[in-house]
Amino acid sequence: MGNFLVTGGAGYVGSHLVRALADRGDTVVVVDDLRQGHRAAVPAGVELIQLDLADRRSLAEIFAGWKFEAVFHFAALSLVGESMRDPLRYCIENLSNSLGLADAAVKAGVMRFVLSSTAALFGDPEAVPIPEEAKLAPTNAYGESKLMVEKGLAWADRVHGLRFACLRYFNAAGADPQGRIGEDHEPETHLVPLAIGAALGTRQPLTVFGTDYPTPDGTCIRDYVHVTDLADAHLRVLERLEQGSVRYNVGSGTGYSVKQVIEAVERIGGRPVPHSLGPRRAGDPAVLVASSERLKAETGWAPRFGALDDIVRTAWAWHSARPQGYGDR
């Protein structure tokens, strides 16, 4: 049992980690500004503090009031398209808030820090599956902002001894297998919920961005990792931090194209996904697939929901039962 701070813990991936911590009996404090998060995603018994991470004084007071064993940091601006329209906002806010949080942790003596990072660090990879040693060359400002944060954490380790884990994951998807929580963004940019919403009639027909990529069917290929498996990866790296800071890629190791995801939704849902074809989006690499071999070897992690149909099935169950999500927009 332990005490943990989770920023962005009312959001999609963060809330699934909070559930995992609460389910095993840990004490959790969630800090979330609720711009994208939901109070209903935070389980009973977990303290939710609505706070902008830019409020350094209040953040310091939280650290003074609790003795945390580690910080899990999910809160960030994370829309690729938006980052290409407003790159300076992404670089400034994501860097400032993340390193401000790390600074508060160091000053409070909390020396374990787990960052929700991104595969967007790799840009257009030279080879797939992508190992941790691959060249870091983001093609969008969101990825660049996360790379800047990782570099800052490296200095915090070098100078202050902050042990950090950067989990560079690919496309989070799916929902809690028990149906307690799921994905609810506005605007929604993730393919799986957009395809499901189109099939259910709760969203507009889907647009497929780009059909001329150098892939077998011409559409982008991504590595979809179940959100519950992501939460498990975050828990497993805590013990690994005792040996030093780490960077891991987290994915199923299998890539699926946009067309294959549409087909899976149609297969699971038993109805068509209305969609149209559109041009490419700026900053979208053709293929992003993870090599998670290092994470598996060093922590024993393995995806429980590695197959695309298993991921889509949990997402379909959530969205069909809660077509308006948490209903708090």
For the annotated catalytic residues, the residue numbers are 142
Sheet holding 47-50, edge to edge: 47-50, 27-32, 3-7, 70-73, 112-118, 163-169, 246-250
| DSSP run (H or E) holding 255 | strand 255-257
Cα distance between residue 130 and residue 134, in whole Å: 6
End-to-end CA distance of the chain: 34
| Cis? peptide before 187, omega within 30° of 0 | yes
290: which strand partners?
Answer: 130
Dihedral pair phi/psi, residue 181, rounded to 5° = -140, 165
C-beta separation of 80 from 284 below 8 A: yes
Name the residue type at position 169: Y
- Burial (CB < 10 A; 0-12, 13-18, 19+), residue 94, is buried
Q: At what angle do helices 141-160 and 87-107 cross, to 10 degrees?
A: 20
d(CA 233, CA 251): 10
In whole angstroms, what is the distance from residue 123 CA to residue 186 CA?
25
Rg of the Cα trace of the chain?
A: 19
Contacts 24+ apart (CB under 8 A), 52-56: 53/7, 53/97, 53/100, 53/101, 54/93, 54/96, 54/97, 54/100, 56/100, 56/104
